[in-house]
Amino acid sequence: MTTATLLRPARLDGLAAVTAALASTADRYDRTGEFPADGIAAVHEAGLLTATVAAERGGAQLGIGGSARLLAALGEGDPSVALISAMTLLTHLRETQRPHWPEALYAEILRSSAERPTLLNAARVEPELGSPARGGLPATVARRTASGWSISGRKRFVTGAEGLSYFLVWAGTDEPKPRIATFVVPGDSPGIEIHRDWDQLGLRASGSHDVSFTDVRIPAENLLGPVERGAKAEQDNRGLAALGLTVAAIYLGVARAAQQAFHRFAHERVPANLGHPIARTDRFRDAAGEIEVNLAGAQQLLYSIADQYDRGENPAPTVALSARILAVRQANAAVALATRLLGNPGLSRRGPLERHFRDIQFAAIHAPQDDIVLRQLGTAALEAAIPAAAALDAAIPAGATPNAARSGVAAPDAAIPDSATPDAAIPTATTPDAAIPETATTDLATPDAATSAAVIPDAAPPDSAAQQAVAVGAREGA
């Protein structure tokens, strides 16, 4: 039985004020690379870090669509803060959709969340393994002790590492029949070392550092979703597809901030030889129109599919994965156009546009990366076309050249039987789930590889590899 906790009410009607607060400190944290404590405090004070907690536990119970809109607003202010917040939000979202945490442990996390920012994130990527999105299992080991577990190993790209209250460590056990599980490690445990080696082009305040765990002792019950070691313990792209939409929304926010910077410059810049703001020139009006078309399309694509999940329609995972790729490309194109048009002022560190340009470069590196998704989709599309091609070949009279029938050259009418429809030779769709095999893996969504997945297929065990979707650690290299 669960009881409601006195969490801070989520002030969703005050998002504009939170966005402004984050924007006021974003440049400072970008320059120093320090943990963005002020930004995280602003998100906590507004009750937003627990906005995805179940209503019966005192939360606002935002779903995929609501989370996407929230993260877009935070991303517009400071994407580093948004990414750190996303890891916690998506962990709570998964627990709301499919409870799997020990009751006492989760209740303690909620009690702490009511008093202070209580940040959670997965630690999955490893130096030798690379991104779990490309397959493989962890080398980090959880050894049995008299009272619980001892965790040892090194993780990479752990977003928000310096401010985490709990690390969700992906590791294998040393049992006679080894299991793979997520181990809940309190952030103040002895034996944890944060290496402070995150020094990237963008998202500089996300603090996605390497973290070492050396004989870190935790209670026996701090264990989530153990499964037998093997292929089924690897990450499942399909289970992470929905969460990819929410992380992509962070970069929609970045692009909107870049758009505003572009608009301000266009209205304020008055060349002496022109005599009026460049916003009144055809060149800038055309560019402003193209930027808006890109961003309006990306927003509609992300939100409409995210809302389908919240209505229980559960679109095919391939739809969400494809939408994420398209939306991210459009957001990138909008920011690139704004930066290019402004020239030197756009690239100056005295203005915000160059920071937005740097930050949005990280949109495409969240797992599963584009090449993984596109190869799976392309393979499925080509395989689905094989029966149609065979049917077309069978319809070609003896002596005709099959390839000619598929070329741009018109074929004699006799090549198509009266009962056949020419368009029937072209498949109308691929089979959605066939595009991503059960064994496909992904840390969808974060510089560190994943925090928790939402909308997990029924076949996936509660904290199996599919759990960590936001791994908003996805700056992970292969």
pLDDT digits (tens, 9 = 90+) for 199-231: 999 999 999 999 999 999 999 999 999 988 877
252-311 pLDDT, tens per residue?
Answer: 999 999 999 999 999 999 999 999 999 999 999 999 999 999 999 999 999 999 999 999
- The pLDDT of 110-124, averaged and rounded, is 97
Question: Counting Cβ atoms within 10 Å, is residue 23 exposed (0-12), middle (13-18) or buried (19+)?
Answer: middle
Domains 12-117 and 132-231 share a fold: no
Whether residue 437 has pLDDT greater than 90: no
To the nearest whole number, what is the mean pLDDT of the chain? Answer: 84
pLDDT computed for residue 1 by the predictor? 57
pLDDT computed for residue 90 by the predictor? 97
Q: CA 183, CA 160: separation in Å to the nearest integer?
A: 18
pLDDT computed for residue 333 by the predictor? 98
pLDDT computed for residue 234 by the predictor? 67
What is the band of 84 on the pLDDT scale with cuts at 50, 70, 90?
very high
pLDDT computed for residue 235 by the predictor? 60
Q: CA 369, CA 131: separation in Å to the nearest integer?
A: 10
126-180 pLDDT, tens per residue?
Answer: 998 867 766 678 999 999 999 999 999 999 999 999 999 999 999 999 999 999 9
Picking from 239, 241, 238, 286, the residue whose alpha carbon sits closest to that of residue 262 is 286
Whether residue 31 has pLDDT greater than 50: yes
Question: Counting Cβ atoms within 10 Å, is residue 221 exposed (0-12), middle (13-18) or buried (19+)?
Answer: middle
Q: CA 309, CA 354: separation in Å to the nearest integer?
A: 35
CATH class of the domain whose range is 132-231: mainly beta
- The residue ranking higher by pLDDT, 248 or 464, is 248
Backbone angles phi, psi at 229, to 5 degrees: -60, 135
pLDDT computed for residue 368 by the predictor? 80
326: number of Cβ within 10 Å: 14
Q: Which residues contact 400 (CB under 8 A, 6 or more apart)?
A: 411, 415
Query: Could you tell me whether strands 141-144 and 164-173 are parallel, antiparallel, or unpaired per DSSP bridges?
Result: parallel
Whether residue 444 has pLDDT greater than 60: no
pLDDT computed for residue 153 by the predictor? 98
What is the band of 469 on the pLDDT scale with cuts at 50, 70, 90?
very low
What is the band of 405 on the pLDDT scale with cuts at 50, 70, 90?
very low
300-359 pLDDT, tens per residue?
Answer: 999 999 999 999 998 998 899 999 999 999 999 999 999 999 999 999 999 999 999 999
- The pLDDT of 44-49, averaged and rounded, is 98
- The pLDDT of 52-74, averaged and rounded, is 97
Q: Are 141 and 171 in contact (CB under 8 A)?
A: yes
pLDDT computed for residue 208 by the predictor? 97
Query: Could you tell me whether strands 164-173 and 148-158 are parallel, antiparallel, or unpaired per DSSP bridges?
Result: unpaired
CATH class of the domain whose range is 12-117: mainly alpha
Q: CA 123, CA 188: separation in Å to the nearest integer?
A: 15
Distance (Å) of CA 82 to CA 53, 73, 162, 250, 259: 17, 8, 15, 7, 18
Give the domain ranges of the chain.
12-117, 132-231
Tokens of 161: 């590492």
* pTM for the structure as a whole: 0.82
Percent over 90 (pLDDT), the chain:
69
- The residue ranking higher by pLDDT, 464 or 173, is 173
pLDDT computed for residue 6 by the predictor? 86
Query: Could you tell me whether strands 164-173 and 209-219 are parallel, antiparallel, or unpaired per DSSP bridges?
Result: unpaired
Tokens of 163: 């401010």
Whether residue 478 has pLDDT greater than 90: no
Backbone angles phi, psi at 157, to 5 degrees: 55, 50
